[in-house]
Structure 1
Amino acid sequence: MNAVSPKMPFLLGCNGRGVQRSSLQQPISLNELPIHEQFRLVKESGVFDYFDRIPLRSNFDDYVRAIEEFSLPVHSASWFYRLGADEGLLIDNLKICKEIGAACHNIMTFTHHQDGHVLTDGEIVDHYLQVYDLGMALGVEPSFELHVNMWTEEFLRVATIAGMVKERGIPFNFTLDYSHVNFKINQPAELALSGVQELVEQGRLILDPFEPGSLCEQWLNMNIVKWTQLRTVAPNQPANLWHRNEDGSFARGIQYPIIKPQTGEWHSPWNAYLLEPSKEAIRKVLRYHITHPESPLKYITTEMINLPDYGLGAKYDLFEQNVAAARFIRAAWDETVALHKAGLLVGSGI
């Protein structure tokens, strides 16, 4: 077993959807390993502090046994919800989080209500406040995620909603998955879906995390990032050419291997330099955290996963990609600490 590097001031978890030993002979699929095997792989990798996944009621006991056997807790868990349909599910999932020991529930809320209308800012604020009250009563903090197909895909709404929540005297917890920004860079149709194409083209909104004043910096400076996720993507990367949607279109491409695929393992050319925006977003999170004692960051997870818009159908080792992502995070933290000790992180630190 590999030794975990010195303790970091946040918890590093692996998304359970990424625990597959896929290969040329066994491409990434929606069929998952038994819970016991998933926990074993995460534990024996030696690079993770915990397992990130919400149990179902049907496999809850499998989680309890695996947590005990491998001394590998579940500190965080995620799910998606549609208002008008899933309020009961959300309440039960908050209870599951408490029962399994997860102190944070990551929430993805669809843009559209069950009746078809786009959620208003007021509805989202009310939703957040209701979930906050329910969760905190159980000892489970909610965190709302930046994610495609959810209200947060309209990037500018994040600051608006966060501000409205804060005006009520309640902290807004944000899960920053900057892959959902980086993959849209230089993709006009994707930028239009986020309502920012004109702003980006005019230079009034900067997505590239290497540029001063980027959207990544703006969100960090709001001091709302409770959880950040690393899924590497490439700007303007190809769609998932190994999976088609029901309408015949290719699934979106929101996952770019962090380890170079071998021949036949991926559908497109691969270049290491295209990983850098994903890595820089993580570096910025770490720099902000070390220079801001008030930073709420508590969780980082690796998110190389098996779903259609991500890795489904690819033939690289999916779990190996998550291990590599975790090793990058640990190395980036060590580098951040060294820079800070040397006095090289000044001002905002990002």
Structure 2
Amino acid sequence: MADFPFSLGCNGRGLMHTSVLPLDDQFRLLRDSGVFDHFDRIPQPGQEREYVEASNRFGVPLTTGLWTYRVGKDEALVRHNLEWAAKAGARCHNLMISTHHADGHVVTDDEVVEFYLRAYETGESLGITISAEVHIYMFTEDFRRITPVAEKVRARGVPFNFVLDHSHVLLKIESPEEQDASGIREDVEAGRLILDPYDRGNVIDEWIGQDMVVWLQVRPVSPNGPKNTAMLGPGGRWGRACQYPFVRPAAGEWNHFWHAYRVEPCKHVVRRMFEHHKATPSSPLRWLTTDMIDMPDYGGGVGYSLFDQNVAIAEWLRNLWNDVGASDTGPAPGRERIGGRRTAP
């Protein structure tokens, strides 16, 4: 069996079954699963020391992590977060840059570039790779902005390190409501912006083709899938459709009927990413995470185990890497553990 070349982590908000666990139990759950290499989270505000101590105690690094930043307000927060993350073994930090500046205007590309470059310089001093993610509520929710920002960063002699969370693209397929949320509906309907990952010229392939993806986040989403009717989100609305179970929930664990085919677009993108990495010696992909989490727009309030879903994804990822390019039409792998904890760079 070929070596798995990535460090595989689990998002900290998914280190639970249906309710939040004490911190030590989260680390123990991840360590004892036998399928993960790292904890995906930064030391949380007010608990920084507890996270670092738990990381050392359990021998589980917080290799990847993220935080949401507002330009014009949070420039100093980047260094604070990175310094604590470095103490917990961080290798990559994901900037989630809000759509709006601290003074209320929509951030410009140039403002994003400057924020990224300052964070990049700080990260370099601490040995941490700085990256930026496609994500709802962030400037990147307008997918048309990502390549222009990447090009401006690269023009300054700095790599644009990208975090591909394809779920935030897939949920907008066949959903005028979701397309309107980021102002892309007109371009989608006119064919100027292609969301379908199976269609030639789609935006995910565009990003993969730029050879800038350093971190792949894996959370299934169904195109125009069901909203999370287990928990209300902001404004008293149901959570957005940002999560779909990877394997079938048991009876009574979910408010919707589960269809295996709805998970296939997510699997297709992962295969494309793996194929690119295997065929491209310069590919910077180093980190993978599973991201079945508990927030209202995701899986908050659901009855299925978030961690069991994350483990199922992790097992599938490890198996897929060894079989990339082969037919993969069957269901997700069974519940048997992959032997032994693996170490990735």
**TM-score with structure 2 length normalisation?**
0.91
- CA contact 1:290–1:337 (8 Å) conserved in 2: no
Q: Give the corresponding residue for 1:162.
A: 150
Give the Cα separation in 2 of the matches to 1:34 and 1:61: 15
Q: State the Cα distance separating 1:103 from its structure 2 match.
A: 1.4
Q: Which amino acid aligns with 2:319?
A: A
Give the Cα separation in 2 of the matches to 1:328 and 1:259: 11
Give the Cα separation in 2 of the matches to 1:236 and 1:244: 18
What's the Cα RMSD here?
A: 1.6
- CA contact 1:227–1:300 (8 Å) conserved in 2: yes
Q: Give the corresponding residue for 1:344.
A: none
Q: Is 1:128 aligned to 2:116, yes or no?
A: yes
Q: State the Cα distance separating 1:246 from its structure 2 match.
A: 4.7
- CA contact 2:15–2:307 (8 Å) conserved in 1: yes
Give the Cα separation in 1 of the matches to 2:32 and 2:325: 26
Give the Cα separation in 2 of the matches to 1:303 and 1:74: 15
Give the Cα separation in 2 of the matches to 1:190 and 1:164: 27
Q: Which of 214, 219, 234 is the equivalent residue of 1:231?
A: 219
Give the Cα separation in 2 of the matches to 1:193 and 1:95: 35
Please identify, of 143-152 and 73-82, the stretch whose mean Cα deviation from structure 2 is larger.
Answer: 73-82
Give the Cα separation in 2 of the matches to 1:205 and 1:144: 21
Q: Which of 6, 10, 18 is the equivalent residue of 1:10?
A: 6
- CA contact 2:233–2:297 (8 Å) conserved in 1: no
- CA contact 2:70–2:100 (8 Å) conserved in 1: yes
Q: Give the corresponding residue for 1:205.
A: 193
CA-to-partner distance for each residue in 1:67-112, whole Å, 9 max, x for gaps? 3343222211111111222222222001112121101101101000
Q: Which amino acid aligns with 2:195?
A: L
Please give the secondary structure, in 2, of the residue aligned with 1:102. Answer: coil
Give the Cα separation in 1 of the matches to 2:48 and 2:121: 25
1:150-189 to 2 correspondences below 5 Å = 150-189=138-177
Q: Which amino acid aligns with 1:8?
A: F
**TM-score with structure 1 length normalisation?**
0.89
Q: Give the corresponding residue for 2:283.
A: 295
Please give the secondary structure, in 1, of the residue aligned with 2:178. Answer: helix
Q: Give the corresponding residue for 1:42.
A: 30
Q: Which amino acid aligns with 1:112?
A: H
In structure 2, list runs of 5 or more residues that go unmatched: 328-345
- CA contact 1:155–1:195 (8 Å) conserved in 2: no
Give the Cα separation in 2 of the matches to 1:76 and 1:300: 9
Please identify, of 139-148 and 328-337, the stretch whose mean Cα deviation from structure 2 is larger.
Answer: 328-337
Q: State the Cα distance separating 1:243 from its structure 2 match.
A: 1.5
Q: Which amino acid aligns with 1:67?
A: S
Aligned length: 327
- CA contact 2:55–2:88 (8 Å) conserved in 1: no
Give the Cα separation in 2 of the matches to 1:179 and 1:56: 24
- CA contact 1:304–1:310 (8 Å) conserved in 2: yes
Q: State the Cα distance separating 1:205 from its structure 2 match.
A: 2.3
Q: Which amino acid aligns with 1:123?
A: E
Please give the secondary structure, in 1, of the residue aligned with 2:270. Answer: helix
1:70-109 to 2 correspondences below 5 Å = 70-109=58-97
Q: Give the corresponding residue for 1:26.
A: none
Give the Cα separation in 2 of the matches to 1:102 and 1:208: 34
Give the Cα separation in 1 of the matches to 2:232 and 2:5: 41
Q: State the Cα distance separating 1:173 from its structure 2 match.
A: 0.4
Q: Which of 219, 222, 227 is the equivalent residue of 2:207?
A: 219
Q: State the Cα distance separating 1:211 from its structure 2 match.
A: 2.0
CA-to-partner distance for each residue in 1:296-327, whole Å, 9 max, x for gaps? 11101000001110000100011000001111
Please identify, of 66-75 and 221-230, the stretch whose mean Cα deviation from structure 2 is larger.
Answer: 66-75
Q: State the Cα distance separating 1:337 from its structure 2 match.
A: 7.3
Q: State the Cα distance separating 1:202 from its structure 2 match.
A: 2.3
Give the Cα separation in 2 of the matches to 1:241 and 1:178: 22
Q: Which of 121, 129, 132 is the equivalent residue of 1:141?
A: 129
Give the Cα separation in 2 of the matches to 1:93 and 1:61: 12
In structure 1, list runs of 5 or more residues that go unmatched: 23-28, 340-350
**Paired-residue identity, %:** 46
Q: State the Cα distance separating 1:57 from its structure 2 match.
A: 5.3
Q: Which of 281, 286, 299 is the equivalent residue of 2:269?
A: 281
